[in-house]
Structures are given as C-alpha cells and as structure tokens.
Amino acid sequence: MLLRRKDNILKVARKDMKNSLLSFFQKIEPDKKKSPFLHTLYDGFFTFAFTPNHVTKGGVHVRDGMDLKRLMFHVVIAMQLCYLFGTYNIGQQHFSALGMYEGFLEGFHLKIFYGLVQILPLFVVANVVGLGIEFFYAYKKGHGIEEGFLVSGALIPLVMPPALPLWILAISVAFAVIIGKEAFGGTGMNVLNIALLSRVFIFFAYPTYISGDDCWVAGLEKVDGVWTASYNGFVTGVLNPAFESFGWATYQNGLAVVDGYSGATPLSLAAKGGWEGVLTRFTPEQMFWGNIPGSIGETHKLFIVLGAGFLIYLGIASWRIMVSMVFGLVITGLLFNMWNATPAMDVPWYYHFSMGSFLFAMAFMATDPVTASATNRGKLIYGFLIGTIGLVIRVLNPAYPEGWMLAVLFMNVFAPLIDHFVVESHIAKRKSRLSKLANS
Amino acid sequence: MKRGKLLFISFSLLVSSFNTLAAQSNGEGSQFLLNSLFVIAALVFFAIVIQVSDNLMAIEAKRTGADKDGNHFGLMPRFYELVGSKLPSYLKNERVIISKKGFDIPLEGQALKEKLTVSVLRFAVNPTNFKGISPIPKVVVEVGDTVKAGDAIFFDKVQPDLIFSSPVSGEIVEIKRGEKRAINEIVILADKTQEFKSFDKPNLGTISREDLVKTLASSGLMTFFLQRPFNTLPNLTVVPRDIFVSTFDSAPLAPDLAFALKGQETAFQAGIDVLNKLTSGKVYLGLDGRGETDAASIFTGVTGAEKYYFRGKHPIGNVGVQIHHIKPISPNDIIWTINPQDVVILGKFMLEGKVVQSRMLAITGANLNKTGYLNLPLGASVSDLLQSEQLAGEYRIISGDVLSGTQISKNGFVGFYDDQVTVVEEGNNFELFGWLLPLDMRPSVSKTFPSALLGGVASAANTNNRGEKRAFVVTGEYDNLLPMDILPQQLFKAIVVNDIEKMENLGIHELVEEDVALCEFGCTSKQPLQTILRNGLDVVKAEG
C-alpha cells in the first residue's frame, strides 16, 4: 500500500518534470531545413532524454524494453569500479614513486584529486573528439545519432597510460572513429574494436608514450637526470590553497623520487628477469589488488572480474568468449612453463592473470559483439585463439611485453573467417541430417 | 532460497572489500593469509548456522505435515533439483521433446475460462488473409445475394477447384475493394437461424483420396490447410509427406485449446481420420507437456496419430518448431499443417455432412472489462464483438496474438486463421529516460530489468517500439529465442544480401513468420525480422 503510494508520487513528480522538459525541448527544436547539423544534434540529445513515441508497425505489436542504448549503458556501468580504482591508483602510483603515503588511506584526498586531474581531461577529450566526429557523420549521412561511441568513449581512457598527452589521445581517437568505424559504415559495421584501434594507433605512431618504463606513472619529470614531481598550474594554484584552507596536506613541486625508483611494470620486469625479477618489486597480492603502475583501468583484478561477472549475469557479454580465452591462456601458459627457455617463460601460468591487462581485455575488449565472432561455436574458437596468441606475444615479443591489444585486433580481423567455417560446417551438418531423413 | 543466496553474495562482497583494504594497507603475505583464514572461518560458521536452521525447518515441516505433497522445505536445493529437470509422472512413458530455449512473455489480460455472450451480426471473408492467392479472386456472389453456410463465395483463379465458402448463412451486404480493385472484404449479414448447405457425407472406407480432396475443396474445407515451405494455401495436386497438428498455442495470451475443444473429442477423432486419408505419410500431434499435470488429456485418446509431448517455452507450441524436432522439412518436401480447431470442423463435416465454420475465439487484453471465450463463426466483426467495451484512449485491435497477429481497424473482422483477438494500448507517448529508468513494468528477455529478478511479473503491454532501429549489433540473442538447429542471424543476413543459395542451405524453408516473431520481439536492434523472413521466402519461392 505504502509502496504503491510512493510509486504514485514518483509517477506524478516525473510526469510534471517530463511535461516541462518536453515543452522545453519542443521550444528549442531547431529547424530541420535551415540548420540540419543542429537538428541532428538536437535529435541525438532528445532521444537520449526521451524514448521516442514510435509505435510498432507491420511485425510484432509489442517490443522488448531492451534497446541498444540500455545495453551499452550497462557495459559502461560494469566499468565503473575500474574507473573508481583507476582514479585512485593514478595518485597512488605517483606518490609511491615519491616514497610518500604508502598506505591506502594516507594522503587519500591528494591521490583522488590528482587522479581526477589526470583522468577527467582524458575522458573529456576522448568523448568530445569521438562524439563530435559521430555527430558530424550522422549529419552528413542524414541519419540519427547512434549510441555506438557510448562504450568506446568510456573504454578509451581506461586503456591509456595516465601520463598520455591529450593531443595524442585526440589524434588517435579521431583516427579510430574515422578510419575504423565511419569508413566502414558506422555503428555495428566496424571490423576492428574502436578503443583498441585508438590505442594501437598510439602504439605505432608514438611508441614512447605507451611503451617502456617511463609512461605509466603520471606527474614525474626528468630534471638533471633525476625524476622529480611536477604539477600543473591547476594543482598548485587551485587545489593546494583549497587543501591548505582545510589544514590538509598539499602537493609539493620538485620532490625527487625514491632511490632506485623505476616505473617498470610487472610485465617488463618479467621480460627481463622472469618471475624472480617481478618479485623484486611486486608481491602477487599487490598485483591482484591493483597497486601497480599500468594503464588506468587494468590494474585492479577483482573489480574487473566483478564487472565481467555483472556482464555475464545480465547476458550482455558472451561467457563463451571469456571462458575460452581463459582456457587459451592457461594451456599456453602451461606449455611455456614446461618449455622454460627464456626468463619470461618461467612466470607461473596462474600469475599471468594478475599481471598486465589480460582480464580487462577479456571482460571488455574481446567481448565486443560487433567485432567478435557471431556464432556460438565461433566465439569459443575466437576466445581461445586470443588467449593463445596474446600470451605468445606477451612472452616471446622482446619489444613490447603485452599481447592482448594486438591479439584481440588480430582475431577481430579473423572473426569473419571463423564464422564462415562455422556456418559451412553447420550447413554440412544440416545436409547430412536431411539426407539421412530422406533415406529413413 | 533466493534470500539465502543474496545474503551469501552480500556477505562475501563485504568480506572481499574488507580484504581489499587490508591488503592495500599492508601488502604483506602473512596478513593476507590471516585475513583469508578469517574469511574461511566466518564462511564455515555461517554455513553451519544455515545448515542447522535448514534442518530444523525441514523437521518442523515434517511435523506439521506441510511437506505432504513432496514439497521440499529446505533452504538448499536437493541434488536432483539441481541436475536435470524432473519430468512429471504423466510424461514418464511418452515421447517428450524438451527445449530450454525460448521465452514466455508475461502479459496481463489472459482470457478467463468462461463463455461470453455477445451477439455478432456481421461476418466477413477476407481474401487477403490467404497467402499465395491471386490479388483479385473470382467472386461468385453479388451484393444482395443470400447464401447458406458452406456456399461458395469466391475461388482462386490459380486453382479454380479451391472454393472459399461462406462461414454463415445470410445476406451479402458489401464487397469492399482496395487498391487496383483488389477485393478486401466480403461482408455477410448473418441470419438469426443458421442454414447449412448439405453435402453428402463421404465414406472414408470407400472414397479415394482424389475424390475426398475434391469434396473437401468444393465445400471450402481445403482452405484450412497451410502448406510448408512458405506457409501458403495447399496445392491440391500434391500429396503431402506428413500432416502436423499442434494441439496447444504457447504465444502470449493465446487461447487454451484444450479448454476450447472440450467435448469435441468425437469430431476431433473424425477429423484426424480425414487427415490420415490425405497424406501418404503420418499425422503428427504435438501435445502440451509444459505443465505439471496433463493438460492434453482430451487428445491422449486420439488414435491414428503419432503423439509427441513438447516441454519448454514459447515458441514450443508453434507447429514449425515441432516439425523441426519430429521430422524436419527438406527443400523438396511438402507438408501440411492445420489448427486443431479446424480438425474439428473437418470432423463435423464427416459426421454431419455440413460445413460448420466456427471456432472458440479468445478475447484477450489487459484493458478489457471482460475477457473470455465465445464460439463464433469465422470472420466475426470486431465492432460487434467489443460493443460492450468502453475503451478510452487509443487502442490497437489485433486479430491473433501480439507477436504475429494482424492489426485490424475498429470496424474490421477477425482473420480467417485466427482464434484470438487481442486489444493493447497504443504506446505513442514520449517516455522520460524510458530506456534507462522505466517506471512501469514492461516485458523483456533481458535481465537488466528488475522484473527479471522478480521472476516474470506480468505487465500490461503497449505498442511502443522501445527504441530506434539499429544495425545488427548483439550476437547470439536470436539463438536463445529460436528452439531450432538453425543459425538465425546468419540466415537474416543472407536474406538481406539476397544470397538465395545460402538462405536455402541455412534452412529458410523450415521457418515461417510466427517462428521468428519472438526473435523480433527480443531484438535489441529493433529489426523487422518477420518482414525480412517473408521477403526471403518470397524470393526463394519465386526462384522455384
């Protein structure tokens, strides 16, 4: 009873809000003929705020409440824990390089605000550039704005190193959206994963910004051969006075890093010194709980697993891809452990899960339905091969000790081929079944 | 059981988040080990508490006698409840086909199992109801003529022997024409007392198949058959491989055919005997095996038909799905299907020598004052049917179910093959953040809606499109909604690019619109799959 009344109050309140918003939208609607670009933009925002009043015609009379917007939004929700921890970890890694605030809650405000200062511009630039291009193409082609960039725009900041210059990000996103997507026909037509395409663009065009040991910790600058902390004007001019007024600790320019500091990730340590090399700097627990340098969203393994579980439970991401990818990694890892010819090969197979970005690629990259295999059996093959190829690249490639980005893109290209063979075998099976029936 | 699960999940989340904090601050292995031990100890403690209380509950249930019917009162599921579904006893010695795919759309507005009394005066025969007929059939009556039930109304120029007869006796009051003089409706005002044209009762023991087909065709009874592939009117010159009848309808709000056919067992058996004469193969009956008790008991005594039980969710009741599991159609096969209510019409013809073209019609819809069943001749006027309903606002009247029915106007007539009328609200309003935070319930296959957690609560349908049309993005969602060994998405793509060989190879001849209607309902990209399939079928048919 009470619940129902509350429900009604909610409904009335929403009706009022809806009507005033609806009339506001109708007031500002630009003329379609005079300013088509503005109208496309308007239409995009309007359909975001309101489900259109279209009714079914010609086929089913009742439709499922699920649409592409809702689907993609749930993928974005699944990444939110990675965003939270990624923001914190930017600050955590920065201060642990300086030898300060090692504890989780020590200097918490400094870490969170520093993380925000780094991640917000990345997010804004990625989305402004990507959405801007989407809007432009929607207007050029004369169709409505589609929500394809919703997920890509949320994924891109998570796969970038925290210290990435914004102009490089802008160029890479523009490349990925124009060449990777619009050239192929827009949402649902792309062959390659957009977020990974923008990352691989940086990897080949500006390799020093995304590989090596120096790019994974933000806010350090080399002065006279020594890495020292350096902050921009916003941090020193706005945040510091604000924290001072509360009597909190502030950021200090020019602090030197601790002795023997290196920004190396577990992967580059493993490439040089094997599992022993990794253990000189990191504990396995540390890698699992994400207290390591790396791309923004990839470090906290539990949060990624929770996101993956959320997507599997809702039936949005394919469990087939994820499970077969794990199998691919485990089997290849075991083989490498048996072979044990180089230092990198002796990393125990189970620790490959907590190093680097395997889980992130599994949960959010490989499962992109547009670029993955479309058939159920194809998904198993596709995932397994990503797991295998990715680990081969990680272990054997001397130049870049991580393989998932390249493996996923590689298999994106081969997904249609896998589907082709799956469909052919399905057809052959159908034919043999029918001929058996005809003879019976 | 659900609450227990929830408790467990929230508890383990709590522990793991606590663990995160602990590991972050120390990062020491020993501390981590200690924490893990603590967690395990706590879990064991909880497991013991739950197990003990579970046993206490079961003991209490036994003492009070609450578990008499084999109801299990424990918190944890028993082992056999986890592995495999236990078949109810009536299915133990039967042929059962079980499918886990599909979805029962929970909708409000199921027809009450009571008979309504509404006087319907006008009926119509509508040539556009028949697939595969030429657009302008030859009408043999004129406005003002009086006809008896069973008199010829028109025939198809392609097959002049195939007569379409009048469902009622009365006066032809109107012949409505559409574009290019196509005939849309032939309206008949029914007499108060019905007169039937009398036919010679054919004797199944002596009559040849050809003569039987001729008799049935001349009385209009052959039009009740549908021929696959393509779901068209039957070709009178071919002998079908088999004839299939599905004795239940699993579509949303569909009529309960066992209820509709109660008391018609003799006529149904007579109809089955006719079917056996018409095919060179067998007659197959698909029976309802969904419930815990036998809902198909009136069909179990039928002789001369192969009976298969089907257990699963919609579209398990579709005859196409049943054919696929019993004996699939290959491209060269011809198969006939017929609605069980029409088997009764055939049977009555054999028993009484007259064409009684009437069915139990279910009136369904959440916004109606009175839902229920009524026995009416085919093609009843909807405005007569719904005369007592005061429908404020905009509504859509559907002849058939919400998935594959046809929209008809307020002055329209029920379709020839339909045994259901559904009324749903038009959803032509804007909804604030309707895609994200819907306030009212809506049916969905997806688990992102709270209704999925509540276990399929029925909601009132409306016709909003729930989003805009997009390219195919999500993969694998049709596979879960089509209980056949077919790759639906690949088939639709082959149709879109007009690849005829691939369409045939992927099994387009096994499908008709109603089989993919559920896929269209659940499609995230809002693709018009039934239309796409019909285009493909037309192309394949034209190719021969």
Order across the sheet with B372-377: list the strands: B372-377, B358-364, B420-425, B395-399, B406-408
pLDDT recorded at residue A3: 47
Q: Out of A98-102, A208-212, A436-440, B354-358, pick the least confident.
A: A436-440
pLDDT recorded at residue A61: 95
Q: pTM of the entire structure?
A: 0.87
Name every chain A residue with its beta carbon within 8 A of the beta carbon of B16.
Answer: 302
User: Buried b vs exposed e over A359-398: b needs ≥16 C-beta within 10 Å?
Assistant: bbbbbbbbbbbbbbbbbebbbbbbbbbbbbbbbebbbeee
Beta-bridge partners for A256: A228
DSSP code, position A364? I
Interval B217-246 mean pLDDT: 94
CB contact under 8 A, A51 and B446: no
Structure tokens at A4: 């129902």
Q: Which helix (H) or strand (E) holds B399?
A: strand B395-399
Residue B379: closest CA among B192, B189, B230: B189
Segment B20-63, tens digit of pLDDT: 555 554 445 567 778 888 888 999 999 999 888 888 887 887 77
Q: Out of B249-263, B285-299, B331-345, pick the least confident.
A: B285-299
CA distance A397 to chain B (A): 31
- Measured CA to CA, the distance from residue A117 to residue A297 in angstroms comes to 16
Sequence ranges of the domains in chain B:
2-82, 122-352, 466-544
Q: What percent of chain A has pLDDT over 90?
A: 60
- Measured CA to CA, the distance from residue A55 to residue A44 in angstroms comes to 19
What length does chain A have? 440
Q: What percent of chain B has pLDDT over 90?
A: 62
CB proximity A372 to B under 8 Å: yes
Split at pLDDT 50, 70, 90, the class of B80 is low
Beta-bridge partners for B163: B155
Name every chain B residue with its beta carbon within 8 A of the beta carbon of A380.
Answer: none
Interval A44-50 mean pLDDT: 85
* Best residue in A8, A26, A54, A62 for a mutation probing chain B (most B CBs within 10 Å): A62
Q: Which residues contact A380 (CB under 8 A, 6 or more apart)?
A: A320, A321, A324
Interval B209-235 mean pLDDT: 93
Split at pLDDT 50, 70, 90, the class of B1 is very low
Q: How far is CA B354 from the centre of its chain?
A: 30
Beta-bridge partners for B154: B139, B164
| Residue A11 vs residue A41, higher pLDDT | A41
CB contact under 8 A, A55 and B485: no
CB proximity A338 to B under 8 Å: no
CB contact under 8 A, B432 and A14: yes
Q: Which residues contact B249 (CB under 8 A, 6 or more apart)?
A: B255, B257, B317, B401
Give me the interface pTM, i.e. the ipTM. 0.90
Interhelix angle B319-326/B513-522, nearest 10 degrees: 110
CB proximity A208 to B under 8 Å: no
Q: Out of A253-262, B37-46, B59-68, pick the least confident.
A: B59-68
- Contact between residue B221 and residue B214 where contact means Cβ atoms under 8 Å apart: no
CA distance B357 to chain A (A): 28
Interval A348-362 mean pLDDT: 92
Residue B519: closest CA among B99, B98, B106, B103: B103
Name every chain B residue with its beta carbon within 8 A of the beta carbon of A433.
Answer: 328
Split at pLDDT 50, 70, 90, the class of B6 is low
Peptide bond connecting B106 to the previous residue in cis, omega within 30 degrees of 0: no
Is the per-residue pLDDT at A160 higher than 90? Answer: yes
Between CA A361 and CA A367, with CA A390 as vertex, the angle to 5 degrees is 30
pLDDT recorded at residue A5: 54
CB contact under 8 A, B465 and A56: yes
Is the per-residue pLDDT at B444 higher than 70? Answer: yes
* Best residue in B466, B489, B491, B531 for a mutation probing chain A (most A CBs within 10 Å): B466
Interval A116-141 mean pLDDT: 94
pLDDT recorded at residue B310: 94
* Best residue in A12, A57, A66 for a mutation probing chain B (most B CBs within 10 Å): A66
CB proximity A225 to B under 8 Å: no
Q: Out of A213-222, B75-84, B400-409, pick the least confident.
A: B75-84
- Contact between residue A126 and residue A156 where contact means Cβ atoms under 8 Å apart: yes
Interval B83-102 mean pLDDT: 83
Name every chain A residue with its beta carbon within 8 A of the beta carbon of B430.
Answer: 18, 22, 50-53
Residue B329: closest CA among B209, B228, B184, B429: B228
CB contact under 8 A, B443 and A47: no
* Best residue in B404, B464, B516 for a mutation probing chain A (most A CBs within 10 Å): B464
What one-letter code names the amino acid at A345?
M
Structure tokens at A180: 């990777």
Residue A122: closest CA among A78, A81, A167, A75: A167
Q: Out of A9-18, A59-68, A238-247, B305-314, pick the least confident.
A: A9-18
Name every chain A residue with its beta carbon within 8 A of the beta carbon of B334.
Answer: none
**Average pLDDT of chain B?**
88
- Measured CA to CA, the distance from residue A108 to residue A103 in angstroms comes to 9
pLDDT recorded at residue A368: 94
CB contact under 8 A, B328 and A187: no
CA distance B445 to chain A (A): 7
CB contact under 8 A, B528 and A59: yes
Residues 25-54 of A with CB under 8 A from B: 47, 49-54
Split at pLDDT 50, 70, 90, the class of A1 is very low
User: Buried b vs exposed e over A236-268: b needs ≥16 C-beta within 10 Å?
Assistant: eeebbeebeeeeeeebeeebebeeebebbbbbb
Q: Out of A280-289, B6-15, B211-220, B420-429, pick the least confident.
A: B6-15
Closest residue of A to B493, CA-based?
Answer: A374
How far, in Å, are A216, B147, B229 from residue B354 at the CA level?
87, 14, 31
DSSP string of B310-341, one letter each residue: EESSTTTTSHHHHHHHHSPPPTT--EEE--HH
Phi, psi of A294 (to 5 degrees): 165, -175
Interval B52-76 mean pLDDT: 72
Segment B359-406, tens digit of pLDDT: 999 999 998 999 999 999 999 999 999 988 888 788 999 999 999 999
End-to-end Cα, chain B, rounded Å: 56
DSSP code, position A397? -
